[in-house]
Amino acid sequence: MKIVGISACVAGIAHTYIAREKLIKAAEKAGHEIHLETQGTIGTEHALTENQIQEADVVVLAVDIKIKGKERFTGKKTIEIPTETAIHSATALIKKMEEIIKN
């Protein structure tokens, strides 16, 4: 499964990046390819390429705030959760995504 997504939290300095790390770790452990963009207070980092988005099977948005560029994912299966959920239960979240893709 190929995953792309965005993480963004309120303060934009910690949760954003912890959520990214946890999701990447969990996804790679389960053997998936994942690319995550961060929209912290510093600005957008690890920006997604058009290619990555096009190839993705599912989009995960771990966001607590309004994000930029959501329209890039129009028509894709999208899962939105608060950053906290991604941090506390990344593996379970990836599993849930697998289920969603299968159906």
Partner 1 sequence: MKSLELRKHAMTGISYMIPYVCTAGMLMVIGNIFGGHTITNYREGFSIADALTTLGGDGLGLLPVFISTFIAYSIADRPGIAPGFLLGMLCKANGFGFLGGLLTGYLGGWVVNYLKKVIKVPSFAEGLVPQMILPLLATILVGVFMEYVLGIPIIALTDGIAALLLTLQGGTSILVLGVILGILSSIDYGGPINKVVFVFVLSLMTQGIGAPIATLISASMIAPFGLTLGYFLSRVLHKEIYSRQEVDALKSAFLMGCCQITEGSYPIILNDLARITICTGAGAAVDGALTMYWDCASTVPAGGFFALAGISHPGLWLVSLLAGSAVFAVLLQFLKRKPPEESMEEETEMDLDLTSLKISG
Question: Catalytic positions, please?
Answer: 9
Q: Report the residue from 32, 81, 98, 102 that binds partner 1 according to the rule CB under 8 A.
A: 81
**Smallest separation (angstroms) from partner 1 to the CB of 33:** 19
Residues 41-60 touching partner 1, rule: CB under 8 A, are: 41, 59
Q: If binding means CB under 8 A, how many residues of this protein chain bind partner 1?
A: 33
CA–CA dist 73, 57 (Å, integer): 11
Confirm or reject binding of residue 68 to partner 1 (CB under 8 A): no
The residue within the footprint of partner 1, chosen from 23, 24, 27, 93 (CB under 8 A), is: 93
Please report, for the chain, how many H helices and E strands are present, in that order.
Answer: 4, 5
Task: Retrieve residue 11's tokens.
Answer: 């303060």
d(CA 68, CA 55): 20
Residue 96 makes contact with partner 1 by CB under 8 A: yes
Can you give the C-alpha Rg of the chain in angstroms? 12
Q: Give the distance from CA 50 to its chain's centroid.
A: 15
Q: Which residues of the chain form contacts with partner 1 (CB under 8 A)?
A: 9-15, 18, 41, 59, 64-66, 73, 75-82, 84-85, 87-93, 96, 100
